[in-house]
Amino acid sequence: MKYALITGGSRGIGRAIAIKIAQDLKYPILINYQSNDAAANETKKLIEDVGGSCILLKFNVADKESTHNVLDEWMARNPEAIIEILVNNAGITRDGLFMWMKPEDWNDVLNISINGFYNVTNHLIQKMLTNRYGRVINLVSVSGVKGTAGQVNYSAAKGAIVAATKALAQEVAKRKITVNAVAPGFIKTDMTADMDEKELKRMIPVNRFGEAEEVADLVSFLASKKSSYITGEIVNINGGIYS
């Protein structure tokens, strides 16, 4: 049995991606989440409502031991299973001007994005290589591509994943594994709920925030066999605010 794992998949863009991959590509879905049981169970139900199946895996991607323990335990119970699609979506923001940034706000943001990427992807890539097929899609951000004032930590974290995406793509391409990143701009989610959409949309050429489902459509394509000649790419999805 072949599966798709979405980290940070209980809400927002992660939830939309999980539902879309279940619908479009018919993969059973593994949802990683850290703490929100209610949101995770709601996502599970939404996936089942569209005819998919879903398993919840609770762990903090920044914690290597917990990540490995939960994944290994699941693999031991499902020895024939292969995680063929990995969407590294987990991420947090701790915005503020750099000169006043607390060490924990720097470390927490980088740990989730960078160490989370390493802890999950490094642990799963060997099986993909053995299987000679895989899709790795990393959710980055316009902040990681162009930089955003007030988000030095988040820009640094996502910028690192941009570089890692390009490098890893070159290492694994011969085994039919593609590694790409998707860089959303302003998308309607919990993360942008406090932003002044009316004011900010003036900066966006298409004059609106994006929908999580629009990001999910792009990720679903990159996770499919149709995208097999695309690797090492950072695809912007931001309404024209930056390219």
Residue 101 corresponds to which amino acid?
M
Return d(Cα 153, Cα 95) in angstroms, integer.
8
Q: Which residues, in sequence order, are bridge partners of residue 178?
A: 135
With tokens 């998949």, the residue in question is 9
User: Torsion angle, CA of 185/190/191/197, rounded to 10 degrees?
Assistant: 60
Active-site option among 118, 154, 229, 242: 154
Return d(Cα 230, Cα 215) in angstroms, integer.
17
Q: Would you give the distance in Å from CA 208 to the centre of its chain?
A: 23
Q: Identify whether 154 is a catalytic site residue.
A: yes
Q: Which residues contact 14 (CB under 8 A, 6 or more apart)?
A: 6, 7, 8, 31, 87, 89, 90, 139
**Strand, coil or helix: 151:** coil
- For residue 150, is it left (φ>0), alpha (ψ between -120 and 50) or beta? left
130: buried, middle or exposed (CB in 10 Å: 19+, 13-18, 0-12)? Answer: exposed
Residues marked active site are found at 154
